[in-house]
């Protein structure tokens, strides 16, 4: 018996104790926990199928579905998703629809989350979106829904998922509502929300200004990105513009604070903060052993159990115009198709672009009238609607939602102290987000799955509205490329008259005055203007959330209709990742190319690189610090000869992480509000890089010691001593026994039951594992460098992993059967399943599994065969 299966059986026994008092015997309890396990072999009758469908599963339970029609293909995918992960799907649609309290009651902030999500109106947008999609996409979504319902409707909740049984210990649990196509689209809206930019940056700047008072100081804390074209995705240089100033309106401070508190109430199923991102890169065949391209990807998301992704193969028995799918890759349960993967001719990966698609608008509101012009009397009515939030086991909550022309007002949704203080003024804050305009992203995702060349990728990208993404791709005929995609708002096409407006035109980096039309959005960037690259001269493309590069051209109508349209250039964002991961990938690719042709193993090795850019900045100065006391110096001695790799077994990596945490606390974090605090991400590294060669920079001075002025070397010495003391208390007195993996642990927590009583936690959560990496390493395993951090599942350990690569893949375009992949944890959402966490060990160790694609290879790799019959 393998260890993961042994662990699962032990946990099943633990879960049996949970329900023992209810069902009366241990054997019956065990049956209750195992009851939801689905049938994966044999034959099953499924309603609304037209013809037989075959589902082959490999040793890890990954399904490959083969059908005669697209209708049957997506119906069967809905059925298998419901078999494996329906409770997760149900949770996702409740979260995204603002009905989470209906499922879980008034726990873990569910009511507050629902209030904000209802205010944002994701479901109303999704309902409108469905009507805009092509009839073909609508049919796919309907077929998927029919498959989900064929499994769920009429089935006792105890047979669907053990979570319903456990929730039922405290209250009556209603049967899940039938799945609807809009449920899939609203989940897509939640994904887009987690990958948006940059309202968090706007709030951070605004709150930093409240404390620091000086806009120039705030601007330093959000430094411009490198203009060098080599650092960008497209290779084009990014102009460094002078940042525009903040909105200068007294009374908006509390409203902005309240807006931040409201947006923080929304759960982030994909994660939040600087750790959310992706690595993706593609290498031309001129540099590979096979002579054909290689493509690698690893999205960085929150660590949860079940994980974000579902692996699947979707195959039409005869590929045709009516049934065009022969695709394999990573889907997300609740939405049909494949989001990242490959078909027989093209491989693609998606990553968050970081384009600025959100703006916060300070609004002047009096008696449900919002000011829309320079005069106080220039007003129009707010759009107002009432929502009712149902609460399982509790009393329903009435919610009044108010919106301006810019978007919903978010600052008065919750009854927080900041909202109460803001209510004394007329100012509110509305959120503009491109994702609140119905779009065609679902069409784009299906188009990508059947694309075969760069032109078809570009055509699909034109409909990819939210989120804004980077698409990296490769084809079997040898092409590689990149395409930016997303609906990007156009801001301030016309130069503002400084005598008539309070600020220069907006660049999206600060909240703006909603009553001044110069800050209004003026349409969307033409998709044809978004950057793209095909077969670059250097033979590879790297997209790791760094700046895309260059500018886009937008057009406005001229004052004189006989004149040509007015052309203006604009940047896509001011808040990118600072590119340390991208530069390291480029460096390692260059070394691999110089050493010889690149192969799959090289791509895997690069993905697992744990080099610390923070150490590259800080380590030379640390090594020069003299610590006279041998006991204090024992930690510093670990840094001698250290290769700056954050390996799980490294004592030096553990010591450096502790020093890094303390340095950030004593330089920037002690002077910043929570919203602008440093999280150890690329901005943290960039800020330390900017001051590291200035030993008397005022940022080195510790705000906690007002009568003492510290310099760089003093702060570094203090940090090394404190790190020695802290780690001695946490791990032990001998520094050579310290290990980064002792504290840097991944703990996958269930989104609903992860904080329940001990036996339930043991069942649904995945046990901790020590791993390597860091927030700015290619192997991006982020953590929060503050003693106040409260990582989910490990509130006493700030080094706990918060986001990490939720899957990894390498696609070999010369032989698709030689491709490799691995997903975090496993394919099943059932804790009693042997596939609940059977990939976790390989994932943690940087191992990959074979990824068969051809029909013969899939058959040879299969372990179970299920025939779905009409």
Average pLDDT rounded to a whole number, residues 820-828: 96
Q: Is the dihedral of CA 302, 308, 311, 316 positive or negative?
A: negative
**How far apart (Å, rounded) are the C-alpha atoms in residues 251 and 482?**
45
Contacts with 561 (C-beta within 8 Å, 6 or more apart), sequence order: none
Residue 499 pLDDT: 40
Cα torsion through 536, 540, 546, 552, rounded to 10: 20
Higher pLDDT: 412 or 576? It is 412
Least confident stretch, 168-172, 314-318, 376-380, 605-609? 168-172
Q: Per 3-state DSSP, what percentage of the chain is helix, strand, and coil (rounded to 5)? A: 40, 20, 40
Q: Is 426 exposed, middle or buried (0-12, 13-18, 19+ CB in 10 A)?
A: middle
617-651 confidence digits (pLDDT tens): 999 999 999 999 999 999 999 999 999 999 999 99
pLDDT classification of 704: cutoffs 50, 70, 90: confident
**How far apart (Å, rounded) are the C-alpha atoms in residues 519 and 71?**
46
Residue 754 pLDDT: 86
**How far apart (Å, rounded) are the C-alpha atoms in residues 388 and 259?**
21
Least confident stretch, 541-555, 726-740, 830-844? 541-555
Average pLDDT rounded to a whole number, residues 148-158: 96
Residue 709 pLDDT: 87
**How far apart (Å, rounded) are the C-alpha atoms in residues 429 and 510?**
13
Residue 603 pLDDT: 98
**How far apart (Å, rounded) are the C-alpha atoms in residues 500 and 356?**
26
226-277 confidence digits (pLDDT tens): 655 457 787 777 655 555 566 556 678 889 989 999 999 998 888 776 778 8
**How far apart (Å, rounded) are the C-alpha atoms in residues 543 and 282?**
9
**How far apart (Å, rounded) are the C-alpha atoms in residues 817 and 856?**
10
Strand ranges inside 285-324, DSSP E: 294-302, 310-316
- Note whether 429 and 361 are within 8 A (CB): yes
DSSP-H helix ranges across 42-154: 70-97, 100-104, 110-120, 122-132, 135-152
342-391 confidence digits (pLDDT tens): 999 999 999 999 888 999 999 999 999 999 998 888 999 999 999 999 99
Residue 572 pLDDT: 79
Contacts with 24 (C-beta within 8 Å, 6 or more apart), sequence order: none
Share of the chain above pLDDT 70, in %: 90
Q: At what angle do helices 580-595 and 600-607 cross, to 10 degrees?
A: 150
Q: At what angle do helices 651-667 and 712-730 cross, to 10 degrees?
A: 130
Residue 471 pLDDT: 97
Q: Is the dihedral of CA 606, 607, 612, 617 positive or negative?
A: positive
Residue 788 pLDDT: 65
pLDDT classification of 719: cutoffs 50, 70, 90: very high
**How far apart (Å, rounded) are the C-alpha atoms in residues 40 and 59?**
12
Residue 791 pLDDT: 53
92-109 confidence digits (pLDDT tens): 999 999 999 999 998 889
- Note whether 308 and 500 are within 8 A (CB): no
Strand ranges inside 289-441, DSSP E: 294-302, 310-316, 326-332, 335-343, 346-352, 358-366, 369-371, 379-381, 383-389, 397-404, 407-408, 427-433
**How far apart (Å, rounded) are the C-alpha atoms in residues 320 and 432?**
42
pLDDT classification of 1: cutoffs 50, 70, 90: very low
**How far apart (Å, rounded) are the C-alpha atoms in residues 653 and 400?**
51
> In Å, what is the CA distance from 869 to each residue of 49, 67, 85, 333?
7, 11, 21, 22
> In Å, what is the CA distance from 593 to each residue of 235, 287, 472, 539, 830?
19, 6, 19, 10, 43
Average pLDDT, the chain: 89
pLDDT classification of 210: cutoffs 50, 70, 90: confident
Cα torsion through 826, 839, 845, 748, rounded to 10: 30
> In Å, what is the CA distance from 778 to each residue of 206, 690, 791, 849?
31, 22, 21, 20
Give the residues across from 398 on adjacent strands. 388
Residue with tokens 């810019």: 406
At 74, list the tokens: 């997506």
756-803 confidence digits (pLDDT tens): 887 888 889 887 899 999 999 999 999 998 876 555 545 568 999 999
- Note whether 598 and 283 are within 8 A (CB): yes
Higher pLDDT: 622 or 702? It is 622
Share of the chain above pLDDT 90, in %: 69
At 650, list the tokens: 């490294």
Q: Is the dihedral of CA 297, 652, 839, 768 positive or negative?
A: negative
Residue 556 pLDDT: 64
Cα torsion through 360, 366, 368, 372, rounded to 10: -50
Strand ranges inside 750-859, DSSP E: 766-770, 803-805, 807-812, 820-823, 849-850
- Note whether 438 and 365 are within 8 A (CB): no
**How far apart (Å, rounded) are the C-alpha atoms in residues 835 and 841?**
12
Q: Is the dihedral of CA 76, 81, 83, 86 positive or negative?
A: negative
Residue 861 pLDDT: 96
**How far apart (Å, rounded) are the C-alpha atoms in residues 341 and 333?**
15
**How far apart (Å, rounded) are the C-alpha atoms in residues 784 and 795?**
11
pLDDT classification of 11: cutoffs 50, 70, 90: very low
Residue 686 pLDDT: 94
Contacts with 793 (C-beta within 8 Å, 6 or more apart), sequence order: 747, 748, 749, 754, 755, 765, 800
- Note whether 630 and 721 are within 8 A (CB): no
pLDDT classification of 145: cutoffs 50, 70, 90: very high
**How far apart (Å, rounded) are the C-alpha atoms in residues 802 and 791?**
7
> In Å, what is the CA distance from 646 to each residue of 420, 620, 652?
46, 16, 8
> In Å, what is the CA distance from 798 to each residue of 412, 436, 674?
32, 35, 16
- Three-class secondary structure of residue 482 per DSSP: strand
**How far apart (Å, rounded) are the C-alpha atoms in residues 331 and 315?**
14
Average pLDDT rounded to a whole number, residues 464-478: 97
Contacts with 499 (C-beta within 8 Å, 6 or more apart), sequence order: none
**Residue 9: pLDDT over 50:** no
Residue 173 pLDDT: 84
Residues in the chain: 870
At 623, list the tokens: 């090594």
**Residue 6: pLDDT over 50:** no
Average pLDDT rounded to a whole number, residues 401-410: 97
Rg of the chain over CA atoms, in angstroms? 27
Residue 559 pLDDT: 65
**How far apart (Å, rounded) are the C-alpha atoms in residues 353 and 355?**
5
């Amino acid at each position: 018996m393998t260890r993961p299966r042994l662990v699962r059986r032990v946990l099943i026994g633990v879960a049996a104790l949970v329900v023992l008092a209810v069902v009366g015997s241990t054997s019956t309890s065990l049956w209750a926990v195992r009851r939801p396990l689905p049938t994966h072999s044999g034959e099953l009758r499924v309603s609304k199928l037209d013809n037989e469908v075959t589902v082959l599963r490999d040793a890890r339970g990954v399904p490959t579905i083969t059908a005669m029609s697209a209708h049957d293909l997506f119906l069967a995918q809905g059925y298998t998703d419901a078999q494996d992960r329906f409770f997760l799907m149900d949770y996702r649609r409740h979260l995204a629809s603002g009905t989470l309290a209906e499922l879980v009651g008034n726990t873990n902030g569910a009511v507050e989350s629902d209030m904000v999500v209802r205010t944002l109106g994701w479901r109303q947008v999704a309902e409108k979106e469905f009507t805009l999609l092509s009839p073909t996409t609508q049919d796919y979504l309907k077929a998927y829904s029919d498959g989900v319902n064929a499994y769920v409707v009429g089935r006792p909740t105890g047979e669907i998922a053990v979570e319903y049984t456990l929730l039922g210990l405290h209250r009556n649990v209603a049967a899940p509502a039938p799945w609807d196509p809009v449920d899939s689209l609203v989940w897509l809206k939640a994904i887009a929300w987690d990958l948006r930019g940059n309202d968090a940056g706007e709030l951070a700047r605004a709150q930093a200004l409240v404390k620091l008072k000086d806009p120039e100081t705030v601007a330093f804390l959000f430094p411009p990105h490198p203009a060098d074209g080599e650092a960008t995705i497209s290779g084009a240089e990014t102009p460094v513009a002078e940042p525009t100033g903040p909105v200068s309106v007294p009374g908006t401070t509390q409203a902005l604070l309240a807006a931040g508190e409201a947006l923080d109430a929304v759960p982030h199923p994909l994660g939040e903060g600087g750790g959310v991102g992706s690595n993706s890169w593609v290498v031309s065949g001129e540099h590979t052993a096979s002579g054909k391209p290689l493509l690698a990807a690893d999205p960085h998301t929150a660590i949860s159990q079940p994980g974000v992704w579902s692996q699947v193969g979707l195959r039409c028995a005869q590929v045709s115009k009516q049934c065009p799918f022969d695709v394999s890759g990573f889907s997300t349960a609740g939405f049909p198709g494949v989001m990242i993967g490959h078909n027989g001719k093209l491989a693609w990966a998606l990553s968050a672009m970081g384009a600025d698609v959100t703006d916060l608008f300070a609004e002047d509101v009096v008696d449900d009238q919002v000011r829309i012009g320079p005069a106080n009397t220039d007003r129009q009515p707010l759009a107002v609607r009432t929502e009712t939030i149902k609460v399982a086991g509790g009393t329903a909550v009435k919610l009044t939602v108010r919106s301006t022309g810019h978007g919903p007002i978010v600052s008065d949704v919750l009854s927080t102290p900041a909202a109460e203080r803001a209510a004394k003024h007329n100012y509110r804050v509305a959120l503009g987000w491109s994702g609140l305009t119905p779009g065609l992203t679902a069409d784009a995702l299906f188009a990508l799955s059947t694309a075969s060349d760069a032109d078809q990728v570009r055509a699909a990208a034109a409909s990819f509205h939210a989120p804004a993404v980077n698409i990296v791709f490769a084809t079997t005929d040898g092409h590689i490329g990149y395409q930016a995609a997303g609906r990007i708002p156009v801001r301030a096409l016309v130069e503002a008259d400084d005598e008539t407006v309070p600020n220069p035109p907006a660049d999206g980096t600060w909240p703006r005055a909603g009553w001044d039309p110069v800050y209004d959005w003026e349409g969307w960037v033409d998709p044809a203007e978004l950057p793209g690259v095909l077969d670059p001269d250097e033979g590879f493309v790297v997209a790791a959330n760094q700046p895309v590069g260059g500018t886009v051209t937008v057009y406005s109508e001229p004052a004189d209709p006989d004149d040509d349209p007015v052309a203006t250039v604009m940047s896509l964002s001011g808040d990118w990742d600072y590119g340390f991961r991208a530069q390291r990938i480029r460096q390692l690719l260059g070394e691999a190319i110089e050493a010889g042709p690149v192969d799959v193993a090289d791509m895997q090795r690069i993905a697992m690189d744990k080099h610390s850019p923070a150490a590259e900045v800080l380590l030379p100065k640390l090594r020069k610090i003299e610590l006279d006391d041998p006991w204090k110096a024992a930690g510093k001695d670990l840094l001698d000869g250290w290769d700056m790799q954050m390996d799980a077994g490294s004592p030096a990596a553990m010591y450096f992480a502790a020093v890094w945490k303390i340095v950030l606390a004593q330089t920037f974090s002690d002077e910043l509000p929570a919203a602008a605090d440093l999280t150890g991400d690329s901005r943290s590294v960039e800020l330390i890089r900017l001051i590291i060669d200035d030993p008397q920079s005022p940022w080195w001075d510790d705000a906690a010691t007002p009568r003492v002025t510290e310099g760089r070397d003093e702060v570094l010495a203090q940090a090394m001593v404190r790190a020695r003391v802290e780690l001695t208390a946490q791990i032990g007195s001998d520094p050579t026994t310290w290990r980064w993996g002792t504290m840097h642990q991944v703990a996958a927590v269930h989104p609903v039951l992860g904080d329940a009583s001990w036996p339930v936690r043991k069942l649904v959560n995945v046990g901790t594992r020590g791993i390597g990496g860091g927030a700015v390493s290619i192997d991006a395993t982020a953590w929060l460098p503050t003693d106040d951090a409260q990582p989910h599942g490990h509130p006493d350990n700030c080094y706990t992993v918060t986001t990490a690569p939720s899957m990894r893949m390498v696609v070999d375009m010369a032989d698709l059967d030689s491709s490799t992949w691995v997903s975090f944890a496993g394919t099943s959402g059932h804790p009693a399943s042997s596939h609940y966490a059977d990939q976790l060990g390989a994932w943690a160790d940087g191992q990959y599994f074979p990824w068969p694609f051809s029909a013969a290879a899939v058959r040879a790799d299969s372990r179970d065969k299920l025939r779905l019959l009409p």
